Chain A
Amino acid sequence: QVQLVQSGGGVVQPGRSLRLSCAVSGFPFSSYDMHWVRQAPGKGLEWVAVISYDGSNPYYGDSVKGRFTISRDNSKSTLYLQMNSLRADDTAVYYCAREFSKVTLFHWGQGTLVTVSS
């Protein structure tokens, strides 16, 4: 059974950092590209970042480029999102997701809420 279990959310002050984790089981983690997607309160889904199966190629959306870093540890089957210089508009539920084909996110984590507030 495929499982993506997220952790690491919470309340953080503007300008501070936070790291999200996504622990995966039930499929060969090292074979798949992985994504982060977020959803601000009451808003739609926003693609955040992707990392290739081997960790060699990370890419970011414009709103997080230069502040967020996506990474993975294939030995631990875990995906990460390091979020620095957080702003109020980064407040959202963050989801990790497994890519199936280039345009499909087949399995999703349960989501974790990040609130940026002083």
Chain B
Amino acid sequence: QSALTQPPSASGSPGQSVTISCTRTNSDVGGYKDVSWYQQHPGKAPKVMIYEDNKRPSGVPHRFSGSRSGNTASLTVSGLQADDEADYYCYSYAGSNTWLFGGGTKLTVL
């Protein structure tokens, strides 16, 4: 069964860029390796920031971008702002009609 591994924390100063990784292990999921990324502020529902590896929903700032190389997906936040401080989760298909989230990364804006 697949697992998605994220670093527990990341940080950067305002204006800087930070990249969060999401690495898939046990990747027997056929062609469904695409990843989406979610931002979650405390006490709020998650919000999709990137879907299908690198697509940005309407209304999400261009400062958020995504990519994937093989079994590792990345979320990059450029021009960090205070409101970017949140938890970020990757999400993907795990095989056998199940899905999973990464463990989450707490992004701190210094």
Where the two chains meet, the residues of A that have a C-beta atom closer than 8 Å to any C-beta of B are 35, 37, 44-47, 50, 57, 59-62, 95, 100-106, 108-111
Contact for B99 among A47, A100, A106, A110, CB less than 8 A: A47
Where the two chains meet, the residues of B that have a C-beta atom closer than 8 Å to any C-beta of A are 32, 34-36, 38, 40, 45-48, 51-52, 57, 87, 89, 91-94, 97-104
Query: How near does chain B come to A64, taking the closest CB pair, in angstroms?
Result: 11
Query: How near does chain B come to A22, taking the closest CB pair, in angstroms?
Result: 12
Q: How far is the CA of A47 from the CA of B57 in the complex (A)?
A: 22
Contact for A108 among B34, B45, B101, CB less than 8 A: B45
Query: How near does chain A come to B40, taking the closest CB pair, in angstroms?
Result: 8
Closest CB pairs A-B (n = 9): A104-B51, A59-B97, A44-B104, A108-B45, A45-B101, A47-B99, A103-B34, A104-B36, A103-B92
A104 pairs with B45, CB closer than 8 A = no
